[in-house]
Chains A and B, each alone.
Chain A
Protein backbone atom coordinates (compact mmCIF):
# COMPACT_ATOMS: atom_id res chain seq x y z
CA UNK A 1 0.00 0.00 0.00
CA UNK A 2 1.67 3.18 -1.22
CA UNK A 3 0.97 6.34 0.73
CA UNK A 4 0.83 9.80 -0.81
CA UNK A 5 4.21 11.43 -1.29
CA UNK A 6 4.75 13.22 1.96
CA UNK A 7 8.10 14.22 3.31
CA UNK A 8 8.67 12.32 6.51
CA UNK A 9 10.41 14.65 8.90
CA UNK A 10 11.97 13.48 12.11
CA UNK A 11 10.09 14.74 15.15
CA UNK A 12 11.46 17.73 16.95
CA UNK A 13 10.80 19.16 20.37
CA UNK A 14 10.68 17.77 23.87
CA UNK A 15 7.85 15.23 23.70
CA UNK A 16 8.68 11.80 22.29
CA UNK A 17 6.59 10.85 19.25
CA UNK A 18 5.67 7.22 18.79
CA UNK A 19 6.18 6.00 15.26
CA UNK A 20 5.60 2.60 13.78
CA UNK A 21 7.74 1.06 11.07
CA UNK A 22 6.13 1.25 7.68
CA UNK A 23 3.76 4.03 8.66
CA UNK A 24 4.89 7.43 7.36
CA UNK A 25 4.99 10.18 9.91
CA UNK A 26 2.83 13.04 8.73
CA UNK A 27 2.82 16.33 10.50
CA UNK A 28 -0.45 18.03 11.23
CA UNK A 29 0.51 20.98 9.05
CA UNK A 30 0.85 18.64 6.12
CA UNK A 31 -2.58 17.17 6.70
CA UNK A 32 -4.04 20.66 6.83
CA UNK A 33 -2.31 21.75 3.64
CA UNK A 34 -4.58 22.19 0.63
CA UNK A 35 -2.45 19.92 -1.49
CA UNK A 36 -2.79 16.88 0.73
CA UNK A 37 -6.39 15.85 0.10
CA UNK A 38 -6.18 15.92 -3.71
CA UNK A 39 -2.96 13.96 -3.49
CA UNK A 40 -4.54 11.38 -1.18
CA UNK A 41 -7.56 11.09 -3.47
CA UNK A 42 -5.29 10.56 -6.43
CA UNK A 43 -3.32 7.88 -4.65
CA UNK A 44 -6.51 6.11 -3.57
CA UNK A 45 -7.91 6.22 -7.11
CA UNK A 46 -4.69 4.73 -8.40
CA UNK A 47 -4.93 1.91 -5.83
CA UNK A 48 -8.55 1.20 -6.76
CA UNK A 49 -7.70 1.17 -10.45
CA UNK A 50 -4.83 -1.18 -9.78
CA UNK A 51 -6.40 -3.67 -7.37
CA UNK A 52 -10.15 -3.16 -7.62
CA UNK A 53 -12.56 -1.81 -5.04
CA UNK A 54 -13.60 -5.19 -3.69
CA UNK A 55 -10.04 -6.16 -3.06
CA UNK A 56 -9.63 -3.23 -0.69
CA UNK A 57 -12.94 -3.43 1.13
CA UNK A 58 -13.24 -7.21 1.27
CA UNK A 59 -10.70 -7.69 4.08
CA UNK A 60 -12.52 -5.11 6.15
CA UNK A 61 -15.89 -6.77 5.72
CA UNK A 62 -14.41 -10.20 6.28
CA UNK A 63 -12.75 -9.00 9.46
CA UNK A 64 -16.01 -7.53 10.73
CA UNK A 65 -18.02 -10.57 9.71
CA UNK A 66 -15.83 -13.21 11.23
CA UNK A 67 -15.60 -11.44 14.55
CA UNK A 68 -19.33 -11.01 15.01
CA UNK A 69 -20.94 -14.29 13.94
CA UNK A 70 -24.53 -14.36 15.15
CA UNK A 71 -25.80 -17.95 15.14
CA UNK A 72 -29.46 -18.85 14.84
CA UNK A 73 -30.90 -21.21 17.45
CA UNK A 74 -31.72 -24.45 15.72
CA UNK A 75 -31.66 -26.82 18.67
CA UNK A 76 -33.37 -30.09 17.89
CA UNK A 77 -31.62 -32.69 20.02
CA UNK A 78 -28.80 -33.31 22.47
CA UNK A 79 -26.33 -31.27 20.39
CA UNK A 80 -28.30 -28.21 21.48
CA UNK A 81 -27.28 -28.93 25.07
CA UNK A 82 -23.63 -28.84 24.09
CA UNK A 83 -24.37 -25.73 22.06
CA UNK A 84 -25.86 -24.11 25.14
CA UNK A 85 -22.94 -25.24 27.28
CA UNK A 86 -20.52 -23.57 24.88
CA UNK A 87 -22.10 -20.22 25.77
CA UNK A 88 -21.88 -20.86 29.49
CA UNK A 89 -19.20 -19.61 31.84
CA UNK A 90 -16.84 -22.53 31.30
CA UNK A 91 -16.31 -22.21 27.53
CA UNK A 92 -17.67 -18.71 26.93
CA UNK A 93 -18.08 -18.67 23.16
CA UNK A 94 -19.00 -15.01 23.31
CA UNK A 95 -15.34 -14.09 23.55
CA UNK A 96 -15.17 -14.92 19.83
CA UNK A 97 -18.03 -12.55 19.10
CA UNK A 98 -20.55 -15.38 18.76
CA UNK A 99 -23.86 -14.24 20.20
CA UNK A 100 -26.96 -16.38 19.64
CA UNK A 101 -29.92 -14.43 18.35
CA UNK A 102 -33.56 -15.41 18.20
CA UNK A 103 -34.55 -13.94 14.85
CA UNK A 104 -33.19 -15.15 11.50
CA UNK A 105 -33.14 -11.53 10.30
CA UNK A 106 -30.33 -10.78 12.75
CA UNK A 107 -28.26 -13.89 12.07
CA UNK A 108 -25.56 -14.77 9.62
CA UNK A 109 -24.76 -18.27 10.86
CA UNK A 110 -27.09 -21.22 11.15
CA UNK A 111 -25.81 -23.97 13.43
CA UNK A 112 -28.02 -27.01 12.85
CA UNK A 113 -27.59 -29.12 15.97
CA UNK A 114 -29.85 -32.13 16.02
CA UNK A 115 -31.86 -34.58 13.99
CA UNK A 116 -33.75 -32.89 11.17
CA UNK A 117 -36.95 -34.64 10.13
CA UNK A 118 -38.78 -34.27 6.85
CA UNK A 119 -41.66 -32.69 8.72
CA UNK A 120 -39.50 -29.77 9.81
CA UNK A 121 -37.43 -29.57 6.63
CA UNK A 122 -39.35 -26.82 4.87
CA UNK A 123 -39.34 -24.72 8.03
CA UNK A 124 -35.55 -24.97 8.12
CA UNK A 125 -35.38 -23.85 4.49
CA UNK A 126 -37.71 -20.93 5.19
CA UNK A 127 -35.60 -19.75 8.12
CA UNK A 128 -32.44 -20.12 6.05
CA UNK A 129 -33.93 -18.00 3.30
CA UNK A 130 -34.94 -15.35 5.82
CA UNK A 131 -31.33 -14.86 6.92
CA UNK A 132 -29.57 -11.93 5.20
CA UNK A 133 -26.53 -12.46 3.00
CA UNK A 134 -23.74 -13.30 3.57
CA UNK A 135 -24.65 -16.40 5.59
CA UNK A 136 -23.05 -19.63 6.60
CA UNK A 137 -24.28 -23.01 7.82
CA UNK A 138 -22.59 -25.36 10.26
CA UNK A 139 -23.89 -28.93 10.51
CA UNK A 140 -23.13 -29.88 14.10
CA UNK A 141 -23.06 -33.54 15.07
CA UNK A 142 -23.61 -36.75 13.18
CA UNK A 143 -27.36 -36.35 12.75
CA UNK A 144 -27.14 -33.01 10.99
CA UNK A 145 -24.14 -34.21 9.00
CA UNK A 146 -25.54 -37.45 7.64
CA UNK A 147 -28.57 -38.57 9.59
CA UNK A 148 -26.51 -40.30 12.25
CA UNK A 149 -27.96 -43.50 13.68
CA UNK A 150 -31.35 -42.56 12.23
CA UNK A 151 -30.09 -42.43 8.66
CA UNK A 152 -32.42 -45.14 7.35
CA UNK A 153 -35.37 -44.11 9.52
CA UNK A 154 -38.61 -43.27 7.82
CA UNK A 155 -38.76 -39.64 8.88
CA UNK A 156 -35.19 -38.33 9.11
CA UNK A 157 -33.38 -36.14 6.61
CA UNK A 158 -30.07 -37.90 5.86
CA UNK A 159 -27.91 -34.84 6.30
CA UNK A 160 -28.95 -31.21 6.34
CA UNK A 161 -26.93 -30.63 3.18
CA UNK A 162 -29.89 -32.12 1.31
CA UNK A 163 -31.73 -28.90 2.21
CA UNK A 164 -29.27 -26.00 2.53
CA UNK A 165 -25.62 -25.52 1.52
CA UNK A 166 -23.35 -26.45 4.42
CA UNK A 167 -19.98 -24.77 4.93
CA UNK A 168 -18.61 -26.81 7.80
CA UNK A 169 -19.30 -30.15 9.44
CA UNK A 170 -18.52 -30.91 13.08
CA UNK A 171 -18.23 -34.61 13.90
CA UNK A 172 -19.29 -36.10 17.21
CA UNK A 173 -22.37 -37.51 18.87
CA UNK A 174 -22.75 -35.00 20.35
CA UNK A 175 -19.59 -32.90 19.80
CA UNK A 176 -18.00 -31.41 22.87
CA UNK A 177 -18.20 -27.63 23.28
CA UNK A 178 -14.49 -27.53 22.47
CA UNK A 179 -15.25 -29.14 19.12
CA UNK A 180 -17.94 -26.55 18.47
CA UNK A 181 -15.55 -23.71 19.30
CA UNK A 182 -12.94 -25.28 17.04
CA UNK A 183 -15.51 -25.44 14.25
CA UNK A 184 -16.39 -21.78 14.73
CA UNK A 185 -12.70 -20.82 14.58
CA UNK A 186 -12.28 -22.90 11.43
CA UNK A 187 -15.27 -21.11 9.94
CA UNK A 188 -13.66 -17.79 10.85
CA UNK A 189 -10.60 -18.86 8.85
CA UNK A 190 -12.88 -19.62 5.91
CA UNK A 191 -14.47 -16.19 6.18
CA UNK A 192 -11.06 -14.51 6.46
CA UNK A 193 -9.98 -16.05 3.15
CA UNK A 194 -13.27 -15.30 1.41
CA UNK A 195 -12.63 -13.74 -2.02
CA UNK A 196 -15.96 -13.83 -3.85
Chain B
Protein backbone atom coordinates (compact mmCIF):
# COMPACT_ATOMS: atom_id res chain seq x y z
CA UNK B 1 0.00 0.00 0.00
CA UNK B 2 2.84 2.39 0.85
CA UNK B 3 4.67 1.49 -2.37
CA UNK B 4 1.50 2.07 -4.39
CA UNK B 5 1.03 5.44 -2.73
CA UNK B 6 4.67 6.37 -3.40
CA UNK B 7 4.30 5.56 -7.08
CA UNK B 8 1.12 7.66 -7.27
CA UNK B 9 2.84 10.61 -5.66
CA UNK B 10 5.88 10.27 -7.89
CA UNK B 11 3.70 10.09 -10.98
CA UNK B 12 1.73 13.23 -10.09
CA UNK B 13 4.38 15.39 -8.51
CA UNK B 14 7.57 14.15 -10.09
CA UNK B 15 10.36 16.65 -9.64
CA UNK B 16 8.47 18.67 -7.02
CA UNK B 17 9.32 16.20 -4.29
CA UNK B 18 12.71 15.27 -2.92
CA UNK B 19 12.15 11.85 -1.43
CA UNK B 20 9.42 9.72 0.14
CA UNK B 21 10.41 8.23 3.48
CA UNK B 22 8.72 5.56 5.51
CA UNK B 23 7.03 6.98 8.59
CA UNK B 24 5.31 4.83 11.24
CA UNK B 25 1.53 5.00 11.27
CA UNK B 26 1.29 6.76 7.93
CA UNK B 27 1.56 6.03 4.25
CA UNK B 28 4.87 7.87 4.24
CA UNK B 29 6.55 11.19 4.63
CA UNK B 30 6.72 13.22 1.44
CA UNK B 31 9.61 15.66 1.49
CA UNK B 32 8.79 18.33 -1.07
CA UNK B 33 10.50 21.44 -2.38
CA UNK B 34 9.23 24.56 -0.66
CA UNK B 35 9.05 26.58 -3.87
CA UNK B 36 6.29 24.33 -5.22
CA UNK B 37 4.29 24.26 -1.97
CA UNK B 38 0.94 25.34 -3.40
CA UNK B 39 1.16 22.87 -6.30
CA UNK B 40 1.90 20.05 -3.88
CA UNK B 41 -1.00 21.04 -1.61
CA UNK B 42 -3.51 21.20 -4.47
CA UNK B 43 -2.31 17.93 -5.91
CA UNK B 44 -2.53 16.16 -2.57
CA UNK B 45 -6.07 17.41 -2.01
CA UNK B 46 -7.54 17.07 -5.51
CA UNK B 47 -5.61 14.20 -7.09
CA UNK B 48 -4.69 12.06 -4.10
CA UNK B 49 -7.86 12.63 -2.00
CA UNK B 50 -6.31 14.05 1.14
CA UNK B 51 -9.15 16.42 1.91
CA UNK B 52 -8.43 16.98 5.59
CA UNK B 53 -5.47 18.87 7.02
CA UNK B 54 -4.98 17.49 10.51
CA UNK B 55 -2.21 19.72 11.78
CA UNK B 56 0.74 21.92 10.89
CA UNK B 57 3.89 22.11 12.93
CA UNK B 58 7.37 23.52 12.83
CA UNK B 59 10.74 22.39 14.11
CA UNK B 60 13.82 24.48 14.69
CA UNK B 61 16.84 22.36 13.71
CA UNK B 62 19.22 25.31 14.46
CA UNK B 63 20.83 25.23 10.99
CA UNK B 64 17.45 25.10 9.24
CA UNK B 65 13.73 24.98 9.99
CA UNK B 66 11.30 22.26 9.08
CA UNK B 67 7.58 22.66 8.47
CA UNK B 68 5.38 19.60 8.35
CA UNK B 69 1.72 19.00 7.46
CA UNK B 70 -0.25 15.97 8.62
CA UNK B 71 -3.00 15.04 6.16
CA UNK B 72 -5.85 12.57 6.51
CA UNK B 73 -7.80 10.94 3.73
CA UNK B 74 -11.26 9.59 4.35
CA UNK B 75 -11.04 7.63 1.09
CA UNK B 76 -7.78 5.90 1.92
CA UNK B 77 -8.37 5.82 5.70
CA UNK B 78 -4.74 6.81 6.17
CA UNK B 79 -2.46 9.63 7.19
CA UNK B 80 0.40 11.11 5.23
CA UNK B 81 2.98 13.66 6.24
CA UNK B 82 4.24 16.48 4.05
CA UNK B 83 7.52 17.97 5.10
CA UNK B 84 9.91 20.58 3.80
CA UNK B 85 13.10 22.28 4.88
CA UNK B 86 13.45 26.05 5.04
CA UNK B 87 16.48 28.23 5.67
CA UNK B 88 16.94 29.40 9.24
CA UNK B 89 17.18 33.03 8.17
CA UNK B 90 13.86 34.50 6.99
CA UNK B 91 12.07 31.20 6.63
CA UNK B 92 8.91 31.61 4.59
CA UNK B 93 6.58 29.35 2.65
CA UNK B 94 3.31 29.75 0.78
CA UNK B 95 0.21 29.54 2.96
CA UNK B 96 -1.98 26.45 2.71
CA UNK B 97 -5.12 28.44 3.56
CA UNK B 98 -6.48 28.56 -0.05
CA UNK B 99 -6.35 24.77 -0.19
CA UNK B 100 -7.36 23.84 3.37
CA UNK B 101 -9.09 26.74 5.21
CA UNK B 102 -8.33 24.97 8.47
CA UNK B 103 -4.68 25.82 8.01
CA UNK B 104 -5.37 29.36 9.16
CA UNK B 105 -4.92 28.96 12.91
CA UNK B 106 -2.24 26.27 12.58
CA UNK B 107 -0.11 28.62 10.53
CA UNK B 108 -0.63 31.45 12.95
CA UNK B 109 0.58 29.21 15.77
CA UNK B 110 3.55 27.94 13.77
CA UNK B 111 4.52 31.48 12.88
CA UNK B 112 4.45 32.78 16.44
CA UNK B 113 6.22 29.75 17.88
CA UNK B 114 9.03 29.02 15.41
CA UNK B 115 9.04 32.18 13.27
CA UNK B 116 8.12 30.75 9.88
CA UNK B 117 6.32 33.36 7.78
CA UNK B 118 3.43 32.07 5.66
CA UNK B 119 3.09 34.16 2.52
CA UNK B 120 -0.38 35.32 1.46
CA UNK B 121 -1.89 34.25 4.76
CA UNK B 122 -5.17 36.17 5.21
CA UNK B 123 -4.63 37.09 8.87
CA UNK B 124 -1.15 36.33 10.16
CA UNK B 125 -1.18 37.60 13.75
CA UNK B 126 -0.70 36.14 17.21
CA UNK B 127 -3.00 33.30 18.19
CA UNK B 128 -1.87 31.99 21.59
CA UNK B 129 0.43 34.81 22.65
CA UNK B 130 -0.59 38.41 23.35
CA UNK B 131 -0.32 41.05 20.66
CA UNK B 132 3.03 42.78 20.67
CA UNK B 133 4.88 39.73 21.96
CA UNK B 134 8.47 40.12 20.80
CA UNK B 135 9.75 36.54 21.02
CA UNK B 136 9.30 33.20 19.26
CA UNK B 137 9.34 30.85 22.25
CA UNK B 138 9.90 27.50 20.58
CA UNK B 139 13.12 28.58 18.88
CA UNK B 140 16.16 26.97 20.42
CA UNK B 141 17.76 30.38 20.82
CA UNK B 142 14.95 31.41 23.18
CA UNK B 143 16.07 31.48 26.81
CA UNK B 144 13.76 31.28 29.80
CA UNK B 145 13.26 34.73 31.27
CA UNK B 146 12.98 36.09 34.68
CA UNK B 147 9.34 37.18 34.60
CA UNK B 148 10.11 40.87 34.90
CA UNK B 149 11.84 40.86 31.53
CA UNK B 150 8.65 40.13 29.64
CA UNK B 151 7.07 43.50 29.11
CA UNK B 152 3.68 43.01 27.56
CA UNK B 153 0.95 45.49 26.88
CA UNK B 154 -1.89 44.25 29.02
CA UNK B 155 -4.50 46.88 28.19
CA UNK B 156 -4.65 46.92 24.40
CA UNK B 157 -8.10 45.35 24.29
Listed in ascending order, the chain A residues whose CB lies under 8 Å from chain B are 118-119, 121-123, 125-126, 147, 151-158, 163
Closest chain-B Cβ to A20's Cβ sits at a distance in Å of: 55
Contact: A119 with B155, CB < 8 Å? no
Given known A118-B129, A118-B133, A154-B135, contact A125–B154 (CB-CB < 8 A):
yes
- Total cross-chain contacts (CB, 8 A): 43
Do the beta carbons of A151 and B130 come within 8 Å of each other? no
Contact B154 A152 (CB under 8 A): no
In whole angstroms, how far apart are the Cα atoms of A6 and B146 in the complex? 70
Q: Cα distance A147–B148 when bound, in Å?
A: 12
* Chain B residues close to A by CB (< 8 Å): 128-130, 133, 135, 137, 142, 144-148, 150, 152, 154-157
Given contacts A152-B144, A152-B147, A154-B142, contact A118 B130 (CB under 8 A): yes
Could you say which of A119, A125, A152 contacts B130, with CB atoms under 8 Å apart?
A119
Cβ contact within 8 Å between A154 and B128: no
List chain B residues, Cβ under 8 A from A122: 130, 154-157
Given known contacts A125-B154, A155-B137, A163-B154, A119 and B147 CB-to-CB distance under 8 angstroms? no
Q: Is the CB of A119 within 8 A of B157?
A: no
Taking each of B128, B130, B133, B144, which has the highest tally of chain A beta carbons within 10 Å of its own beta carbon? B130
| Known pairs A151-B147, A152-B146, A158-B147 / 7 extra A-B pairs, C-beta < 8 Å | A118-B130, A122-B154, A123-B157, A126-B157, A147-B147, A155-B137, A156-B147
Q: How far is the CB of A178 from chain B (nearest CB, A)?
A: 30
CB pair B144 A155 closer than 8 Å: no
**A119 interface neighbour in B128, B142, B145, Cβ under 8 Å:** B128
Residues of B within 8 A of A118 (CB): 129-130, 133, 150, 152, 154
- A81 and B142 alpha carbons, distance in the complex (Å): 34
How far, in angstroms, from A153 to B90 measured CA to CA in the complex? 25
Closest 5 pairs between A and B when the two form their complex, measured CB to CB: A158-B147, A154-B137, A152-B144, A121-B154, A118-B130
Q: Do B157 and A121 have beta carbons less than 8 Å apart?
A: no
**23 pairs, A vs B, C-beta closer than 8 Å:** A118-B129, A118-B133, A118-B152, A119-B130, A121-B130, A121-B152, A122-B154, A122-B155, A122-B157, A123-B157, A125-B154, A125-B155, A126-B157, A151-B147, A152-B145, A152-B146, A152-B147, A154-B129, A154-B150, A155-B128, A156-B147, A157-B147, A158-B147
Closest CB of chain A to B35's CB: distance in Å? 32
A84 CA / B155 CA spacing, docked (Å)? 30
Chain A residues, Cβ within 8 Å of B147: 147, 151-152, 156-158
Shortest Cβ distance from B146 into chain A, in angstroms? 7
Per the bound structure, the CA–CA distance linking A158 and B146 in Å amounts to 9
Q: B157 contacts which chain A residues (CB < 8 A)?
A: 122-123, 126
